[in-house]
Amino acid sequence: MDKKVHELLNAQINKELYSAYLYLDFSNYFKAAGLDGFANWYMIQAQEERDHAMLFYTYLQNENVTVTLEAVAKPDKVFNSHMDVLLAGLEHEKYVTSLINDIYGAAYDVRDFRTMQFLDWFVKEQGEEETNANDLISKMELFGSDPKSLYMLNQELAGRVYSAPSLVL
Ligand code: FEO
């Protein structure tokens, strides 16, 4: 495997684990705020991010290249409102999309078609992740300022259930 592609794929394990850690922090924020539905939504998001990390980890192992695990950074965002958390989520997903695009670009440059095919799932997934984050912001804009509506939205988010990724390696 090309050195740069290898480095970027390996670094993505850490980025996805950081994403899991970040969303765990979001979940913790909402739990403390008494919004268990929002806490559930981000807890499941955290589980999905761990799955993403494992997909990169397994892909590298399957390709017989080295996996190196680095320290996961501390989530250090301070939030002044519930909306701040949601906006930080969207911002983060856009950043992750840029990372996936960077890896794709590096794989494309060296005609690493297998890595490109592996990444196709993530390209689609990032579209869904950004849509989900945007939808949540729209709902919060509509309903967040009214306590009864916020309660209903919280109930809706309590219904999110975990499902394993559709990509299996
Ligand atoms: Fe693993 Fe939310 O992207």
Contacts of 87 (CB under 8 A, 6+ apart): 137
Number of separate helices (H) and strands (E) present in the chain: 5, 0
Taking the centre of ligand 1 as the mean of its atom positions, its distance from the CA of residue 122, in whole angstroms, is 8
Average pLDDT, integer, range 71-81: 95
pLDDT band at 27 (very low <50, low <70, confident <90, very high): very high
Which residues, including other chains, have CB under 8 Å from residue 108's CB and lie 6 or more apart? 116
The CB of 112 under 6 Å from ligand 1? The reply is no
- In this predicted structure, what is the pLDDT of residue 122? 98
Residue 161 pLDDT grade (very low, low, confident, very high; cuts 50, 70, 90)? very high
pLDDT tens sequence across 122-150 = 999 999 999 999 999 999 999 999 999 99
Residue-wise pLDDT for 78-96, tens only, equals 999 999 999 999 999 999 9
Report whether CATH 1.20.1260.10 matches the domain 3-158.
yes
In the chain, the N- to C-terminal Cα span, in Å, equals 18
Please give the model's pTM, rounded to 2 decimal places.
Answer: 0.96
Closest Cα to atom 1 of ligand 1: 49
